[in-house]
Structure 1
Amino acid sequence: MDKLDPERRSQNMARVHGKNTEPEMRVRRIAHRIGLRFRLHRADLPGRPDLVFPRYRLAVFVHGCFWHRHTDCSRASMPATRREFWKAKFEANVARDRTQQAALLALGWTVLVLWECELKDESSIEKRLRAAIDRLCPSN
């Protein structure tokens, strides 16, 4: 049973945004600190990646575990109410993610997905960004 009444739950959910989230800001700060320059939410690319590194043709998505259904993650819980609605919503989110990533790959972009639960350790974020860039441009 939901602890909040429907109106309060609706207000809470309305405050959830897809841009400039704390996990995304953390990745942006680290990328900038290590000298990587990027563009944000490019509308001309499928899925409007959170960070785009045009020089390397790298698109980075910072996914929330709940909304994008991170496999085997405790944050990807299923709400107790309106389960059919949520099931359909999450399935659509995952299908859209797959479609957008496939479209980016078809355009010659490399896609890196960083999950919210993996972003606590700044050194691991830095390592993943550097590894992705090194794979794309070994002489960098």
Structure 2
Amino acid sequence: MNSASDNPIIFPEEEDGIALMGGSFDGLYVGMYADTMCIALATLAKITERRIDRLVNHHHSELPKFLVVNPGLNSGYMIPQYTAAGLLNEIRVLSHPATVDNVPTCANQEDLISFAYFASKKAHQISKKLEYILAIVLLTLRKLWIFIIP
């Protein structure tokens, strides 16, 4: 981050001089960490969505279907669980590592384009989608308290 450029810096000396590479231009390490965060966030999203399903699915719990006391026109927490599943699918698509697709440019004489920016951007998008899934599980757990503590 303190580099001057990605090209060598020339310091002329008395005879030959010296050329130093001052560039910190490769964002691959940042991108790999961002990709790892994407995978970790996707795992948390998957666990959370399954927790929501276990709460609203009467086949897996002794709770009423979709946490509705009087089922009928009220679908309870069925649609929020669908929403969580849809968000999880988007997160899974976004969690594919961006940095594995890096390529050299400029007739193979330039450095690899690491796609670290896209990895970081995906991590941000996934975190925003995960916020909604976590909110849904909190709403579901809040509803659960109604059945536990009358």
- Fold-level similarity (TM above 0.5): no
TM-score normalized by the length of structure 1: 0.28
Q: Which has the larger radius of gyration?
A: 2
TM-score, with structure 2 as normaliser? 0.27
Structure with greater strand percent: 1
The structure where helix makes up a greater share of residues is 2
